[in-house]
Amino acid sequence: MKDYLSTDQSLWTGRVSGKDLYLHETVRFVDLRDKDAYQTVGQTDFALLGYACDEGVRRNGGRTGAVEGPDHIRRQLAKLPNQLAEGYALFDGGTISCTDGNMERAQNQLADTVSGILGQGAIPVLIGGGHDIAYGHYHGIRQRTSPKQNIGILNFDAHFDLRPNEQGNNSGTPFYQLAREAQKEGLPFHYMCLGIRKDANDRALYENAREFGVSYLEAEQFQPRHFESVRRQLKSFMDKVDKLYVTIDLDGFSSAYAPGVSAASPMGFSPQLVLDCLREIVNSGKLISLDIAELNPAFDRDDQTAKLAASLIHYAITAISYSNQEL
């Protein structure tokens, strides 16, 4: 696989307990170029997969640097305590990189790798990279699921990312591409966005959201004080689908929490609200795959955004491991 990088294991360091108390002490490495290696990943495992690509951000006129995102998340995740339920393990499956500007090839390789992980019954946890990660990620899920299964995409984001791709694909086009493809194939498109900023999405994007039947909550509604309503709308979306793919764009968080992104949101949402939603999502038993996009370490402060990404992953995988869901 041309764009595959195995992980630099020196990133996985931290406090040494000698008792496997920390993720750097328990993480297992797997080279996902090797088809036999997939066999080591099983139904009670999580497989991290990096997407080192900011070509989509560059094409979208954004601030590049997200290519460095995956390793910065790994470095923070390494230091966190292993709180997974008995029998669960975290694997690091390496990174799909995009060094020559061929984002589409990287997305295809990402899709194949995600499909391989899902084929083992494990949960992919993808770390970006620009939000074009979502296009490859979703295709990997579709490769493994029957067209009859309704896959819901839940996006925590300030942006719809429904920009038309007639001039080319970029970090702002993934859900437009997927919606158009679903339309052509006569398949439903189940997409919900939480945290949409009125001051960051133009009328044409709202019109696309309407055309594609997108469910969304704007930043004003996506607030802790409205949580009962958020929960109800989230549940009604989740009830309509068989499985869920969750994608978290870090630029939806307030820049007080997540300065390390291309397009920061001064009035974005809070981590606690996302955790409250993740709890509902995990409890639905439908979550099959997860990604975190848009970390740009060049604009981070004291690794705050990388730490946030790591803590979100830690929360999600720990909660899933205790949810006893059928994987």
Ligand X SMILES: N=CN[C@@H](CCC(=O)O)C(=O)O
| Among the residue ranges 90-98, 150-158, 208-216, 268-276, the one whose residues contact Mn ion (CB under 5 A) | 150-158
Question: Dihedral, CA atoms, 79, 81, 85, 91, nearest 10 degrees?
Answer: 10
For residue 290, state whether it binds ligand X (rule: CB under 6 A): no
265 binds, options ligand X, Mn ion, none, Cβ within 5 to 8 A by partner type: none
Q: What is the distance between the alpha carbons of residues 264 and 158, in angstroms, rounded to a whole number?
A: 9
174 binds, options Mn ion, ligand X, none, Cβ within 5 to 8 A by partner type: none
Q: Which residue is nearest to ligand X (CB)?
A: 172
For residue 208, state whether it binds ligand X (rule: CB under 6 A): no
Q: Report in angstroms the alpha-carbon separations of 188 from 151, 166, 213, 240.
A: 9, 22, 10, 11
Tokens of 305: 């955004």
Q: Output 56 or 94, the one with its CB closest to ligand X.
A: 56
Q: What is the distance between the alpha carbons of residues 166 and 300, in angstroms, rounded to a whole number?
A: 32
Q: What is the distance between the alpha carbons of residues 212 and 181, in angstroms, rounded to a whole number?
A: 11
Q: Report in angstroms the alpha-carbon separations of 291 from 75, 97, 133, 307.
A: 17, 16, 8, 15
Instruction: Please identify which residue in 159, 197, 243, 307 interacts with Mn ion, judged by CB under 5 A.
Output: 159
Question: Least distance to ligand X from the beta carbon of 56, Å?
Answer: 7
For residue 255, state whether it binds ligand X (rule: CB under 6 A): no
For residue 62, state whether it binds ligand X (rule: CB under 6 A): yes
214-220-221 Cα angle (round to 5) = 60
Q: What is the distance between the alpha carbons of residues 225 and 272, in angstroms, rounded to a whole number?
A: 12
Tell me the DSSP string of 174-217: HHHHHHHHHHHHT---EEEEEEE-GGGS-HHHHHHHHHTT-EEE
Q: Report in angstroms the alpha-carbon separations of 261 from 53, 56, 161, 303.
A: 14, 14, 15, 12
Collapsing DSSP to helix, strand or coil, 255 comes out as coil
Residue 276 assigned to a binding site: no
Site for Mn ion in 245-284 (CB under 5 A): 249, 251
Residue 131 assigned to a binding site: yes
Tokens of 224: 């802790």
CA of residue 29 relative to chain centroid, distance: 20
Residue 314 assigned to a binding site: no
For residue 70, state whether it binds ligand X (rule: CB under 6 A): no
Site for ligand X in 143-182 (CB under 6 A): 159, 161, 163, 171-172
Residue 249 assigned to a binding site: yes
Instruction: Please identify which residue in 58, 75, 131, 142 interacts with ligand X, judged by CB under 6 A.
Output: 131
Q: Output 171 or 321, the one with its CB closest to ligand X.
A: 171
Residue 323 near residue 283, CB atoms below 8 Å: yes
Question: Least distance to Mn ion from the beta carbon of 130, Å?
Answer: 8
Question: Least distance to ligand X from the beta carbon of 310, Å?
Answer: 21
Residue 161 assigned to a binding site: yes
Q: Output 162 or 320, the one with its CB closest to ligand X.
A: 162
Binding-site ranges for ligand X (CB under 6 A) = 60, 62, 131, 159, 161, 163, 171-172, 262-263
What is the contact surface with Mn ion in residues (CB under 5 A)?
131, 157-159, 161, 249, 251
Q: Which residues are annotated as a binding site for Mn(2+)?
A: 131, 157, 159, 161, 249, 251
